[in-house]
Every structure is written in C-alpha cells, then in structure tokens.
Chain A
Amino acid sequence: MPVVFAGFFLISIKNHQRGIAWLGFASFFFYGYLNIYALPIIGLSILVNYWFSKQLYKPANKNRQLLLFSIVINLLALGYFKYANFFIANTNTLRSLIGMNSIEYLNIALPIGISFYTFSQIAFLIDTYQGKVKELNFLNYILFVTFFPHLLAGPILHYKQIMPQFLDPKNFSIDSEKIKLGIIIFTIGLAKKLLIADALGDYANFLFDQHEDDLTPTFLTAWIGSITYTFQLYFDFSGYSDMAVGLSLFFGILIPFNFNSPFKSTSIIDFWQKWHISLTKYVNEYLYTPITLKFMRFGQEKPQPIETIYSLIVPTMVVFLILGLWHGASWNFVIFGAMHGLFIVINHLWRKFFPNFNKACKQKQPYKITKKVGFWALTFISVNLSFVMFRAKDIATAMNIYKGMFDVETAFNFSEMTINTNQLNLQILLLITICFILVIYMPNTSELTFKNQLAKKKFSIKGSAGAIIIGLLFSACVLMLKNNNLFLYYKF
C-alpha cells in the first residue's frame, strides 16, 4: 500500500495518465495476488466491454441491439461462472425424477468480485448508450473497473461517480485533509470488521453450523444466533465499504458510502434505501424502473387490484428475485429475495391503503412512538428473519432455525440456551447490546466524518483526542489481524 501510494503521487507529478496507469496496474496486481487464475477473466471482460463501449460511444452508432447484445454477453459470462453448477444441480434433480443419469458438475471457481465488476460495466454500457459518458479513455476505464478499494465487494460504481474525479488535476497531488479523513474512515471500517464482525462470527457460526441436522435450537439460541449474524453481516460489509471509501481517499478519490444506518429504518422500503445503497440504486435505475414501466402498460385502464398487481407486485417480486439470485447460486438466496419482495409489497400496500397513518405519525405522540418502536422492531425482525435464509447452508437448516425461533415453549429455558457456548451468556449479550446501541443511537461513518464535522455536532472525530483515539483503534485492529479475516461479501 505505501508503495502504491508513493508511486501514484510521484508518477502523477509529471503525467497524470501514468499515475492512472500505475493505479490500474496496482489494482490488477492486488487482484492477481488474491487469485491469479481470475486475472485473465477480468482482463477479457474489460477488453470486451471497452470495445462495446467504444462502439456505443460513437454518436452515429446508437444501436439498441448492440447494447442488448453486450448486456447479454456480460450476463452469460456471469451466469456461466456463478450459476452453471446451480443450473446443473437443478437439472439433475429433475432428471433423477424421470430416471435419467446426472450431468457432471463443471469445475469452475467463482472469480472474486465478478458480480460487482460485471454490474459496474453493464451500467457503464448503458450510460454510454444514453450519452452520459463524456469521455472514453482506456486507462481511465481500466481504473474505473479495477480500482482496488471497491473491486472485490463494491460499492457498484457509476461512471459519473468516479470518472470525473480521474480527470480532475486536483486529485493528483497529496491532500492531507483527504488523507486524514481516509485514515479515520478506514480505521472505523477496520474496527467494524475486526473488532465487531469477527467477534460476532463465532456465535453466528455456532447457530448455523451446529443446527444443520435435526437438532432444533431453542428459542433464545435461535434469536440470539440470528441477531448475531445480522449484525455480523452489517458490520462486516459496511466495514469493508468504509475501508473502500477510506482507501480511495488516500488517492484523492471519493467513492460513495454504501450504508446509511440501515438499522435505524422504520420500514423495509427505508431499509433498502440505506442498505447496500449502490446495489439498490443500481437495481432501481436499471431494473426496477424499466420493468415497472413495462408491466404498468398491462395494468392500464384495469380495475385497481389488477393495476396494483401489474404496477407493484409483479415488478417488485421479479426485481427482488433477481436481487436474491445476484447474491449467489442457491435457492436460499432466491427465497431471501422473495421474502424482501413480499415485505416491500406489503410496505407499499400499507402506505397506499393507510396514508393517514403516516400523517398521524408526524403529528400525534402515541403514533410517533408506535412508528419509532413498533415499526422499527417490525422492520428489524423482518430483516433478521430474512438473513436466516441468507446465511443458512440450505433451506432445511433455515427451516430448522425458524422452528427454534418460533418455539415459544423453550423461551424461558435458559439452561439450554447456554449449550456449547462457554462464553455465550454475558459476553454475547453484551456484544449484541453494544451493537444495538451502535446501530440505533450512534452516528454512522459518513456522519462521523463528513456531516457532523461540518455541523460541529457532538459526535465527530477531530483534534488531538480524535487522532489518539483513532491511533489506538487502529493499533487494536492491527493487533487483532489474523490470516483468516475474510470478508463475507467476497463470495458474492
């Protein structure tokens, strides 16, 4: 990292394009270091997509068929690497039903970050087709795709979010303010990952790995375990995203935050606007809106229930099923997507049929409390339930855990709750309590570093005390580093 940093600014003194090339090379190097075999795949993907972009960039060549073809090529590549064996598994299930022999599985390793860089490039193709791309430069394009802070697990970037920054000369000289912010944000992300997510991981693994067979967890074990995983996923993924923002700032580039306190949400719609924001925006722009517009045509001039089906239920479910499948090749993810689709539909219908409730919430105290506590709890529980499906190895394990979560008879069986987890008890309850306080009452990373600092709010990191706190936090993280601190979202 220090070599990349020093190299970038030294090389950029004379020639900015060489600086870009250096960063692109470093990004390739990091990616190849993780998996050398995946390097040609990303390389080919970049070359092909750049060629398509060049064709679509030409004003005289706004060929919709070409755009569709390029998207199909990308989806086929993604489908091959990510979903081929899933497809074979399901085909084999069907074949076995009619007594046919199984097809052999393909020996494919999933290239790290393929979902992220494929989606980023599809967005770029669409932006190019729509004329939003102002300048096409191969080196800039390589860096746009491979820029190492976001390559492995996002955020999914749009052209307009990053490309103009590569062209801004100010970003090629060292800016101590950006570095300071980068240090703070990176350290917060690292702490989220190493001090919180990894500490929660053992407990979450206990629930999900030990209840794969017919052993149903007790009510408390199931709830504590599932909440633990929900927080693990959040702190792991948002930790990675913060680190990506922090690292980017070292190079003068500001990439968007991917989370905005999602667990403060009081509705599932609100949740998705704050959770994995880049994916939500992407899906909204490139999937949900076009699909809704398509389906709305079918519902036009039909009775209201039919119109609702076409304009809301069908597009939402379709989009969330795709969103679920995007996370991985498993029926668990499909069901996860379906659950969220259903939650979103219910949320929209509630807003549609009870519009006065929201108004009342703003004006009357009892309603305000209901919304704050009741709706928050409902949202959190819904998300938590869906993450059980997301994490479980298979549907049977998830169902087994759900069984425990709804087995109220064991709710007060405290001795059973302590099974196998010598440190469970107070330590995990304390950790969960800390997590709740952090996600509900504390400002998020963006607020701590940008918004609060500007507004001079109580919780902001500045001055000598701030530097020492961040220094100590960073030291604690470095001391906690192990070889196996992998991020959960790498596999998506």
Chain B
Amino acid sequence: MNFKSPNRDMRSCKFILLFATTFILSLSIVFLANFILDPNGQYLNKFYFYESYLADQLIKYKNIALSPGSYNDRKFIEFYTVKSKYKPNLIIVGSSVSQEISSEFLSTRLLNLSLAGSTIEDIIAISTLVLNENNYKINNIIIGIDYKMLTQDSEIISKYCSLKNIFPDVDKNLKINLGRDCDFQVNKITGIFSISLLKQSVGQIIKYLYHNTVGIPHDISAERLKKYYIINKDGSAVFDLVHHDNLAVNNFDRNYISSSHFISEFKLEQLRILINYLSSKEITTTVYLAPISPSLWSKRSNNYLLLNEKKIIAKLSKTPNTKIFGSFNPEAVNCSPKEFHDTGHAKLDCIKKALSKNNI
C-alpha cells in the first residue's frame, strides 16, 4: 500500500484533527455532566438527588411505590433516616427477609430499614447512621440475617459503596474482604469519566423532569398494576407480595448456586463488634435467622447451613444484650411450604414462628 502523497497527507491530518476534537469534546461533555449532576454526591453535591425527593414523598404520603433499580435504595434510606421525624422504639436492619416486618405485626413503633441484598457492611452502616442521628432514641434493634449474608462471597458492591460517606471503612473492608475498590466512587478522577456515572447523571435529569410520575411506577401496564400492586387511597401503590411472580421462585433458587456457602469469620466478627457496640449504647439486639423454604432446604446440601447457624449462635450468644431467634431450617421453626413467597422469603406467619424460636 502506498501511504505517501501530499493530498492524502492533508486529508489524513484533517482526519486526525477531527478525530481528536470529537474525542476531547465527548469526554468534556461526560466530564461536565458527571461533575454538575453528580448523582453520587462526590463533586458538587448540590444539584439534585432523586432519592431525596423520594424520601420527601414517602414522608408526605406514608406509602409510595418504587420501581426496583430506578433509585439507589441505600441513598434513599440515608435521606429518609435523616429527614424523617418519626420516632420509633425499634429499628429493623437486614436483608429482604426482614422487609416485611411492620409496626402492626410487632405492635410497636418501628422503622424497618431492611434492604434487599444487604451485606453485613450495609447493616453496620445503617445502624451507625441511625445511632448518629439525634432524633432517634432506640432501645431495640432487629437484625435480619439471611442464609447467605455472612457467607464468603456475599457482596453487593455498588450499592454498598453508596454508603461510603457514612461508613468510612468501606474501602478498607472491601480491600481486605474482596480485594476490590468501590468502583467509581473511590476514584474521583477516573470516575468523572465513567459511563455508568453518566448513565446515572442522565437518569437524574430524566427523573428531575418527570419526577411527578413517581408514586405509581410509570413503566408498568394498568393490568399489571392492578394485579401486582396495592393502590393506596392517595393514589400511590405498593407491591403486593401475594402475587409474587412464579418465575422469581426459579430465579431465586438458581441465583445463589455459585455462592461460597461457608461462613466468613471476618463478617461474623464484624457483626459481633457491631452488637457489642450497640450493647454499649444500651440497645438490645435481636438477631433473626430467616428460614428458607423447605423446597430449597431439601435441594441444597443443608449441612453447611446447619454448621453456619451453629457458628453464628456460638459466636453471638456470648455478646451482651443479644437474643437469637429463628433458624435457616424451615422445619426447626415449623414453617410449611405455603408460608413462603418464594424459596428465600418467608411470609409473615412463618416469620412469626421464627421469631418465637429462641436459640439462647
């Protein structure tokens, strides 16, 4: 191939110049969008937080429907906890297994801050956040532990990292535990050019412009809304767990096959330290070990679950002001297959039984 000719050179130079301009311009747009909109509050931290808006909505309407994945649930909890004037006696932290526990169920003023896919670090971060807020005077705390939360590779990195501001040890723990960083939230310099941050930034604009559609998810059909959601009097809606999609049962079962099932001593130790800390603040902790469905129990080799349970009980029973209720084993708490939404989430009847089984 002949590369040289004066005309070609001119055209090549123009091509290179245009290429470089496009590249610099594109990156500048991303830089500015991420910096100004700042969806994770790393840079300007002023513009707009969708989660803050959601927290206001929840405080105002008491009940709102949220499309999963459309918001950062950790961030949402942070705003809600700070803004809410509600005075609970009890808070609940933990994963989705404890999300269903309500004030009516326990006949007390409670604030349920459980998060789907919670890690032990989430629990520590949220508990610390609540304790640091002056308006909360908590005497009791329930920690909902699912069978995989304390296992070796339980991790929800991106969500967990959103709490970095409240829980400064996030980076350190991730490094020790998983050998990883908090994605873009750690590196402010390269993060500013992150496409995932840009996606969030664009999302912020859309949410800012169309936030009035929040209340009822706008991306579902009327039929689906009627079938799967409970519509509240004020027009907001909540997901109706009675109509859990059957497919989700299969999905859930398979989701955890790759997990390393054995308990992480490091995570268990973190939980113990947290409970000790709570105890020093005169808070009684109830650890709730959430049962899994009999079908999942029979499918999985359950020896490791029993072993894990024994380890948790042995470790935490020595901590002051601590009660341990429930079991991963559905038979141990007399829960039948019908008392589960899916393979990992017990219904209230089963939760009630589990919370009456005292291990220590």
Contacts and interface: CB of A to CB of B under 8 A. Distances in A.
A467 B3 contact: no
A479 B198 contact: yes
A170 B3 CA distance: 11
Contacts of A450: 1
B111 to A, nearest CB: 29
B313 to A, nearest CB: 29
A52 B8 CA distance: 44
A480 B15 contact: no
B189 interface: no
Given A176-B16, A464-B18, A420 B254 contact: yes
Contacts of B101: none
Given A180-B15, A420-B254, A475 B23 contact: yes
Given A177-B8, A418-B247, A479 B19 contact: no
Interface residues of A, number: 35
B117 to A, nearest CB: 13
Interface residues of B, number: 31
Nearest to B21: A471
A468 B18 contact: yes
Given A472-B22, A479-B198, A183 B16 contact: yes
B16 A180 contact: yes
B178 to A, nearest CB: 13
Contact of B27 (A170, A466, A478): A478
Interface string A63-96: 0000000000000000000000000000000000
Interface string A457-477: 000001110111011101110
B12 A180 contact: yes
A420 B15 contact: no
A346 interface: no
B258 A210 contact: yes
B106 interface: no
B23 A471 contact: yes
Interface of B is mostly: helix
Contacts of B23: 471, 474-475, 478
Contacts of A180: 12, 15-16
Interface in A380-421: 415-416, 418-420
B255 interface: yes
Contacts of A475: 22-23, 26-27, 30
B4 interface: yes
Contacts of B15: 180, 183, 462-464, 466-467
A176 B250 CA distance: 58
A416 B258 CA distance: 17
A179 interface: yes
Interface in B9-36: 9, 12-23, 26-27, 30
B9 A467 contact: no
Nearest to A471: B22
Given A467-B18, A474-B23, A475-B23, A177 B12 contact: yes
B147 interface: no
Given A177-B9, A419-B254, A471 B26 contact: yes
B177 interface: no
A180 B4 CA distance: 12
Contact of A179 (B1, B12, B27): B12
A375 B51 CA distance: 56
B247 A177 contact: no
Contacts of B12: 176-177, 179-180
A454 interface: yes
A176 B15 CA distance: 9
A480 B9 CA distance: 32
B4 A478 contact: no
A254 B12 CA distance: 17
A479 B194 contact: yes
A175 B193 contact: no
A135 interface: no
B70 interface: no
Contact of A472 (B26, B194, B198, B257): B26
A491 interface: no
14 contacts: A175-B3, A176-B16, A177-B12, A180-B15, A183-B15, A415-B247, A464-B18, A467-B16, A467-B18, A470-B22, A471-B20, A471-B26, A474-B19, A475-B27
9 cross-chain pairs, A with B, having the tightest CB-CB distances, nearest first: A471-B22, A475-B26, A467-B18, A176-B12, A479-B195, A180-B12, A419-B254, A177-B3, A471-B19
Given A418-B247, A463-B15, A464-B18, 11 more contacts: A175-B4, A177-B9, A178-B3, A179-B12, A179-B16, A183-B15, A467-B17, A468-B19, A472-B22, A475-B22, A480-B195
Interface of A: 170, 175-180, 183, 209-210, 215, 254, 415-416, 418-420, 422, 450, 454, 462-464, 466-468, 470-472, 474-476, 478-480
Interface of B: 1, 3-4, 8-9, 12-23, 26-27, 30, 193-195, 198, 247, 250-251, 254-255, 257-258
